[in-house]
Amino acid sequence: MNYWVYHYLDRYIGIPLIFILKFFEKIFFRKNKNFDIKKILVIKLTMMGDTILLSPAVKALKEKYSGCELTFLCSKVNYDIVKMWDFIDKIVVFRFDLFFKKPWVVFFQIFQLFKERFDLAIDFEQWFRNTAIVAFLTSKVSVGFKTPKQFKHYLFDIFVPHVKGRHEVLCFCDLVKVVGVEVENKNLFLKIDKGAEEKIRSLLKNFGIEEKKYVIIHPSCGIHGYYRQWDVEKYAEVAEYISSKGYKIVITGNKDDIQIANKLQKLISYETLNLAGKTNIQEIVVLINLSKFVICGNTGILHIAAALNIPTVAIHGPTDPNKWGPWGKGHFVIKSDLDCAPCSYLGFEYGCKKRKCLDSIQTDRIKKVVDILNL
């Protein structure tokens, strides 16, 4: 389903449906809140990067309720991240993308979840309303965010303010805190796949690239991330500078990023390894883990690198690095100095269509960071 169609439906159908469900709840039934927590549903359907950022909260949740069955409701978008966690008992891939083609599949999945009757459902989505509806229908008690102007909190039994400017890792920790979970270890979690590591080590060896002797440039911010995406010509200039110091450049991306990756490769005079569309998430994780550092915009790759403690050079235009920047120490944030930046709060609303904030970021700022990293 087209992202903006989904967004439109979620708003103009989701909001009325929320109020209808709330109305009928007050008239016809009450939830039984006196219970023992034995079955927990965690919901996060969007954003690979967000999913990585909630790993400390979900891990702490499982440790607190170690005897419970923890089910994670994800989508095709973030499934590859969730399956890297060893603290999830069951993963359900929700196929809301089939809503128009095969709507019975979606309703059957909701029915199956309803039959589970989870004791607790925690919706980690910041604004999608369909997830609040799922949490409401399938659990005895539901928890989620109260995000300004999104209205989804009306369906939750317990809600927590989603705070603008507060890092998303901490916001996710706020959600589990209200059910008695203190997140002491806030380190991001990813598990390296041994098979993927063997494959990538072999690939790098075949191309004569040594571990920690290459830099990853991830030029794309996803199919819907144009307004967060730095100019490919500037990435190329930085790549030239890094290559001149004797380091290899490895370009990464998925199948939707092939065009921009190919353009970047053509602009670089030095030999580069372009792996856009040729690796899965597990293999990209290994590539990042073996690299010297990563240069990218505000995208999932940024948070993978942070989870692996690999230095990142994070280029932020319309998005707030205080909220979406790399988590942890040893990273470098390059942000616009324009007064209007950052303008995006939830990641889909932008103040203009011209990317002035990103255009204001010049290559010399990234080159200075490269020098700091002692290449």
Domains, the chain, in order of start with CATH, read: 3-177 (3.40.50.2000), 195-372 (3.40.50.2000)
Question: Strand, coil or helix: what is 338?
Answer: coil
What is the pLDDT at residue 23? 64
Question: Strand, coil or helix: what is 135?
Answer: helix
Residue 143 phi/psi, 5-degree rounding, is: -130, 140
User: For 86-95, 97-106, 143-152, 351-360, which range has the lowest pLDDT when averaged over its residues?
Assistant: 97-106
Cα gap 74→91, rounded to integer Å: 7
Q: Which runs of E-coded beta strand occur in the chain? A: 39-43, 69-74, 90-93, 118-123, 139-146, 158-161, 214-218, 248-251, 272-274, 294-297, 312-316, 332-335
More confident residue, 309 or 131: 309
Peptide linkage before 148 cis (omega within 30 of 0): no
What is the pLDDT at residue 106? 86
**DSSP, res 257:** G
Confidence band for 240, pLDDT divided at 50, 70 and 90: very high
Cα gap 194→182, rounded to integer Å: 32
Which of these, 270, 278, 281, 282, lies nearest to 215 by C-alpha position? Answer: 270
Q: Contact at 8 Å (CB) between 215 and 292?
A: yes
What is the pLDDT at residue 29? 53
- Burial class of residue 219 (count of CB atoms within 10 Å of its CB; 0-12, 13-18, 19+): buried
Q: List CB contacts of 269: < 8 A, sequence separation 6 or more.
A: 240, 243
**What's the mean per-residue pLDDT of the chain?**
90
Encode pLDDT of 289-347 as tens digits.
999 999 999 999 999 999 999 999 999 999 999 999 999 999 999 999 999 999 888 77
Global model pTM greater than 0.75: yes
Confidence band for 22, pLDDT divided at 50, 70 and 90: low
What is the pLDDT at residue 261? 98
Q: List CB contacts of 208: < 8 A, sequence separation 6 or more.
A: none
Which of these, 335, 253, 337, 365, lies nearest to 299 by C-alpha position? Answer: 253
Query: What is the residue type of 299?
Result: T
pLDDT above 90 as % of the chain = 72
